[in-house]
Structure 1
């Protein structure tokens, strides 16, 4: 039964966590920690909210913990020191930069399509990074994951009005950031 839950929610939690954190290793960590906490606390689940809201609340809390820890250790480094191997290792940021470069230089991909998709994806990701953590979380949960206002309010622990406000201002900020890059026709979807 637990495997069914993992299969059902794993990719959605990873996607939401990645969009909030913009870091694949941290998103994987959120998925693992979320399911560990779900397994440990399944008996505490109160059926006042939907199960998916409860699971995403746990994932959201994991993301917020990572963001708080990130604030404590800010800075972009290409290498970190691994005490076990006693040598420097590339950081996640350096690996992500390498990943983008290798996708752009993939000989099997259609260069123009690959470049356009990567550029658009990077623009959207960069724009999401410029939102506040709370706005980014609400935008990801509503516009990407499809949660309703009530569910998001339960997940992030706030009122429906606050969710609507964060979503509204997050979309306005996204529109401002993306408008120079996309046509007016495509921007109408953001300003729903």
Structure 2
């Protein structure tokens, strides 16, 4: 089984309906799908449920895999769509990926503390985006999907992907900056209340 490509396993499963081929795909991708679901839900139990549902759904969808993209890209498309649909209902949750490259790298502890504050601000800004915008940013900056892959997965043109990405980034930046301003105002209010200025 190990020497068979994903696409060969899909073909063999569709042709023979033998569970061993599907199980091989499951073993290869279960953990990756779970981690992706966890990045959406931030709840291990819910992420397990999502993963289970996605693989159940996959059994019926494998016949529709046309090999226009790699199987892994197609599977992540199914995963993103499922997670987006099921997290669209609730408007919150920390959905920032741990390795999203939108923050600078800091070295010493003081700077690491600043980075932690920036990460928290970015998480809050991400929470204010809708599920589609969060998915788009995660596909591009966490999973490093190409514009073309995202376009194929979303059934839209590459220029539409670029436009939506720009809008989502602009919105993220706006929410992030609003959060910083709010934090500064609260800090200023606290400081002036605690130590009023005397003239």
Whether TM-score is above 0.5 comes out as yes
Structure 1 residue 65 displacement after superposition: 2.6
In 1, the alpha carbon distance for the partners of 2:172 and 2:165 equals 10
In 1, the alpha carbon distance for the partners of 2:72 and 2:116 equals 31
User: Which of 132, 142, 147 matches 1:149?
Assistant: 147
In 1, the alpha carbon distance for the partners of 2:111 and 2:43 equals 24
Q: Determine the structure 2 residue equivalent to 1:124.
A: 122
User: Which of 167, 170, 175 matches 2:173?
Assistant: 175
Say if 2:28 is the partner of 1:30.
Answer: no
**Contact 2:41-2:47 at 8 Å conserved across structures:** yes
Q: Determine the structure 2 residue equivalent to 1:133.
A: 131
In 2, the alpha carbon distance for the partners of 1:65 and 1:33 equals 13
The alignment's TM-score, normalised by the length of structure 2, stands at 0.57
> What do you get for the CA RMSD once the two structures are aligned?
3.4
Describe the superposition over 1:18-60 as per-residue Cα deviations: whole angstroms up to 9, x where unpaired: 4445554443332222222223432331111221221122112
In 2, the alpha carbon distance for the partners of 1:163 and 1:70 equals 24
For this pair of structures, how many residues does the alignment match? 145
The alignment's TM-score, normalised by the length of structure 1, stands at 0.58
> Gapped runs of 5+ residues in structure 2?
1-20, 95-108, 182-199
Q: Determine the structure 1 residue equivalent to 2:77.
A: 57
Say if 2:66 is the partner of 1:46.
Answer: yes
Structure with max Cα Rg: 2
